[in-house]
A and B are shown apart, each in its own frame.
Chain A
Amino acid sequence: MTPEFSRNHFELFGLPVAYAVDTTVLERAYRDLQGRVHPDRFASASEAERRVAMQWATRANEAYRTLRNPIDRARYLLALKGFDTGEESNTSMPPDFLMQQMEWRESVEDGRARHDPGALEGLRREIDESRTEMHAFLARALGGDRNYDAGCSLVRKLRFLDKIEAEIDDALEAIADGVPAPRRAASPKGND
Chain B
Amino acid sequence: MSLLQISEPGESPEPHQRRLAVGIDLGTTHSLVAAVRSSSAECLPDAQGRVLLPSIVHYGAAGGVEVGYEASARAADDPANTIVSVKRFMGRGVADVAKYGALPYRFVDAPGMVAIETAAGLRSPVQVSAEILKTLRARAEQTLGGELHGAVVTVPAYFDDSQRQATKDAARLAGLNVLRLLNEPTAAAIAYGLDNASEGTFAVFDLGGGTFDLSILRLTRGVFEVLSTSGDSALGGDDFDQAIAVHWRVTHGLADASGRDTRRLLVAARQVKERLTSEESADAQVTLTWGQQLHLGLTRAEFEEITASLVQKTLGPTRKALRDAGLAVEQIDGVVLVGGATRMPHLQRAVAGFFRREPLVNLDPEQVVALGAAIQANALAGNRAPGDDWLLLDVIPLSLGLETMGGLVEKVIPRNSTIPVARAQEFTTFRDGQTAMAVHVVQGERELVSDCRSLARFELRGIPPMVAGAARIAVTFQVDADGLLSVSARENTTGVSASVVVKPSYGLTDDEVATMLRDGFDHAQSDRDARALAEQRVEAEGLLAALRTAIAQDADLLSPEDRAALEAGSASVEAAARGTDHRALKAAVEALNRLSEPFAGRRMDRSVSRALAGRRLDEVPTK
Q: Please, how many angstroms separate the alpha-carbon atoms of A22 and B308 in the complex?
A: 46
Q: Is there contact, CB below 8 Å, between A45 and B622?
A: no
CB contact between A44 and one of B10, B311, B590 (< 8 Å): that residue: B10
In the complex, what distance in Å separates the CA atom of A36 from the CA atom of B3? Answer: 8
Q: Check B605 against A2 for contact (C-beta < 8 Å).
A: yes
Given contacts A25-B621, A31-B221, contact A58 B420 (CB under 8 A): yes
Q: What 0/1 readout, one digit per residue, does chain B (309-352) give for beta carbons within 8 Å of chain A?
A: 10110011001100100000000000000000000001001100
Q: Does A191 contact B (CB under 8 A)?
A: yes
Contact present for A191 and B593 (CB under 8 Å): no
- State A3–B608 Cα separation when bound (angstroms): 10
Binary interface encoding of chain A residues 123-146 relative to chain B, with 1 for a CB under 8 A from any of its CBs, else 0: 000000000000000000000000
Complex alpha-carbon distance, A152 and B315, angstroms: 40
B393 at the interface (CB under 8 A from A): yes
Mask of A5-33 contacts with B, CB within 8 angstroms, 1/0: 10000000010000000101101110111
* Neighbour of A46 across the interface among B19, B422, B546, B607, CB < 8 A: B546
Q: Are A48 and B593 in contact (CB under 8 A)?
A: yes
| In contact, B608 and A61 (Cβ under 8 angstroms) | no
| Docked-complex contact B3 and A32, CB < 8 angstroms | yes
Tell me, in angstroms, the Cα distance from A177 to B232 when the chains sit together.
13
B542 CB within 8 Å of chain A: yes
156-188 of chain A: CB within 8 A of chain B: 169, 172-173, 176-177, 180-181, 183-187
Q: Which of B205-213, B374-382, B507-515 contacts A (4 or more CB under 8 A)?
A: B374-382
Provided the pairs A44-B19, A46-B593 are in contact, do residues A22 and B621 lie with their beta carbons within 8 angstroms?
yes
Cβ of A150 within 8 Å of any chain B Cβ, yes or no, is no
Q: Does A53 contact B (CB under 8 A)?
A: yes
Check B180 against A48 for contact (C-beta < 8 Å). no
Distance of A127 Cα from B600 Cα, bound (Å): 48
Does B9 belong to the interface (CB within 8 Å)? yes
- Residues of chain B at interface, number, CB under 8 A: 79
On whether the beta carbons of B307 and A52 are closer than 8 Å, the reply is no
B594-623 CB contacts (< 8 Å) to partner A? 594, 596-597, 599-602, 604-605, 607-609, 611-612, 615-616, 619, 621-623
CB A47 to nearest CB in B, in angstroms, measures: 4
Tell me, yes or no, whether B418 is within 8 Å of chain A by CB. yes
- Asked if residues B10 and A39 are in contact (CB atoms below 8 Å), the reply is no
Known: A44-B10, A44-B381. A184 touches B308 (CB 8 A): yes
Contacts of A172 in B (CB 8 A): 323
Q: Name the interface residues of B1-33: CB closer than 8 Å to any CB of A.
A: 2-3, 6, 8-11, 19
Complex interface: chain B residues within 8 A of A185 (CB):
304-305, 307-308, 311-312, 346, 350
Assuming the contacts A39-B481, A42-B8, asked whether A56 and B608 have C-beta atoms less than 8 A apart, the reply is: yes
Contact B619–A14 (Cβ < 8 Å): yes
CB distance from A89 to the nearest CB of B (A): 14
Instruction: Give bound CA distance, A98 to B304, whole Å.
Output: 51
A190 with B300: CB separation less than 8 A: yes
Chain B stretch 337-389: residues in CB contact (< 8 A) with chain A: 346, 349-350, 379-382, 389
Q: Could you say which of A39, A52, A177 contacts B480, with CB atoms under 8 Å apart?
A: A39
Within 8 Å CB of B305, what residues of A? Answer: 184-186
Q: Does B434 contact A (CB under 8 A)?
A: no
Chain B residues with CB under 8 A of A40: 180, 379-380, 391-392, 481
> Is B421 touching A58 in the complex (CB atoms < 8 A)?
yes
Q: Which residues of A contact B547 (CB under 8 A)?
A: 46
**Contact A44 to B380, CB < 8 A, known contacts A4-B608, A35-B391, A49-B10:** yes
Partner of B301, one of A28, A33, A61, A190: A190
Contact call B391/A34, Cβ cutoff below 8 A: yes
Q: How far is the CB of B5 from chain A (nearest CB, A)?
A: 10
Shortest 8 CB-CB contacts between residues of A and residues of B: A185-B308, A43-B380, A45-B10, A2-B605, A48-B597, A186-B304, A47-B593, A44-B10
A residues neighboring B (CB under 8 Å): 2-5, 14, 22, 24-25, 27-29, 31-49, 51-54, 56-58, 61-62, 64-65, 169, 172-173, 176-177, 180-181, 183-187, 190-192
Instruction: For the A-B complex with A36-B6, A44-B542, A65-B418 known, give 14 more contacts whose Cβ atoms are closer than 8 Å.
Output: A14-B612, A31-B391, A36-B608, A38-B391, A38-B393, A39-B480, A43-B180, A44-B381, A45-B8, A47-B543, A54-B420, A57-B481, A169-B323, A190-B304
- The 26 sampled A-B contact pairs (Cβ below 8 Å) are A2-B601, A14-B615, A14-B616, A35-B389, A39-B480, A40-B379, A43-B382, A44-B19, A44-B149, A45-B546, A46-B546, A46-B600, A49-B546, A61-B420, A62-B421, A65-B418, A173-B316, A173-B319, A173-B320, A180-B312, A183-B308, A185-B312, A185-B350, A186-B308, A186-B346, A190-B304
